[in-house]
Amino acid sequence: MCIFCKIIKGEVPCGKIYEDEHVLVFLDINPISKGHCLVVTKEHYETLLEIPEDESIYLFKALKKIGKALMKGLKADGFNIGMNNFSAAGQVVMHAHFHVIPRFKGDGLKHWPGKKFEEGDYVKEIKRFL
């Protein structure tokens, strides 16, 4: 069983922030900033691609709820939402989850580096699979 499933079952402790029938929110054990939360589905899905459409509304609601609570409760000035899908993208725990990272003015965290835009045939390649 994966570590997040163990947390959901209560076999491993966590800093629980919010829970409903579908979703659990808890503090990341290795936070990027204070109040860094993880929003997970109670069902085990590996990545975004496996999450059924009808579950996504509960995730979206929880993300909004947590973002608002972080802004009010921690006086955050903003927040980032991130999701790593597949190991190439940095996913370490293979139980789909969103990171909600409170941001504070002048916190020094950097965004991903951008590259120069190059015209290519990516549009065609991507659209083929929509």
Q: Give the residues lining the site for Zn ion (CB under 5 A).
A: 2, 4-5, 44, 95
Q: Is 28 in the site for ligand 5GP (CB under 6 A)?
A: yes
Strands 16-19 and 23-27: antiparallel
95, interface contact from ligand 5GP, Zn ion, none, CB < 5-8 Å by kind: Zn ion
- Rounded-to-5 percentages of helix, strand, coil across the chain: 30, 20, 50
For residue 117, what are the CA distances in angstroms to 70, 114, 120, 123?
34, 9, 9, 13
What 3-state class would DSSP assign to 97?
strand
Active site annotation includes 111: no
Is 3 a residue that touches ligand 5GP (CB under 6 A)? yes
Query: Quick one: what does residue 28 bind among ligand 5GP, Zn ion, none, with the CB cut-off 5 to 8 Å set by partner type?
Result: ligand 5GP
Contact set with ligand 5GP (CB under 6 A): 3, 12, 14, 26-30, 38, 84, 90-93
